[in-house]
Amino acid sequence: MLNKKILLPILALGGILSATVAKAIPCAVCTIAVGASVGLARWLKIDDRITGLWVGALIASLIAWTIHYLDKKNIRFKGRKILTVILWYGLTIVPFFFTGMIGHPLNKVWGIDRLFFGIVLGTIIFIIANLLLNYLKKKNNGKSYFHLQKAIVPVGFLAIASLITYLIIR
């Protein structure tokens, strides 16, 4: 297992190395912030519901980046988007299952595994935040309303969702 002191720099470096110019998808700063937050949450032993929110957002971001990369490189084939979704979720959830992070009978909320619940909820919230970003940008003639809007809105949504999930969902 990786040393906890090097986990966050590795996540941040991975985000930096995978960063490219984006159009209607999350910016590099947002992707790095989500990745670093996931590492920090696990290191601090934060509840799986909250960690799952950030994991779900990270997966959604990685899917968007991958599809954008494939488009940019003109790599097109039937089913590539759904295959990308299946691959990223599979590459994340299957290892969680085999390492026992998902599937423990006492780690449930509303009958659903806490980490899996958080992943689904985080994905939905991240998509909603990015739909709002696209709407705001369209409404403002393609410009942001404030500096780092593309990072602040999704991360803000996830932070608020984390607080609500922690306080309300048991």
Residue 46 · residue 170 · CB < 8 Å: no
Q: Is residue 104 part of a domain?
A: yes
Q: Is residue 18 part of a domain?
A: no
Average pLDDT of the chain to the nearest whole number: 79
Structural domains in the chain (count):
1
Question: What is the SS3 string spanning 85-97?
Answer: HHHHHHHHHHHHH
Expressed as residue numbers, the domain containing 44 is: 28-168
Q: Is residue 130 part of a domain?
A: yes
- Greater confidence (42 vs 84) lies with 84
Residue at token pair 């994991």:
55
pLDDT at position 2 over 60: no
Q: Give the lowest-confidence range in 21-25, 76-80, 136-140.
A: 21-25
Six token digits for residue 60: 């959604």
Q: Is residue 155 part of a domain?
A: yes
How far is the C-alpha of 39 from the C-alpha of 10, rounded, in Å?
9
User: Which secondary-structure segment (H or E) carries 122?
Assistant: helix 114-139
Indicate the pTM of the whole model: 0.71
- Greater confidence (46 vs 128) lies with 128
Q: Say what the pLDDT of residue 128 is.
A: 93
Q: Say what the pLDDT of residue 144 is.
A: 80
pLDDT at position 35 over 70: no
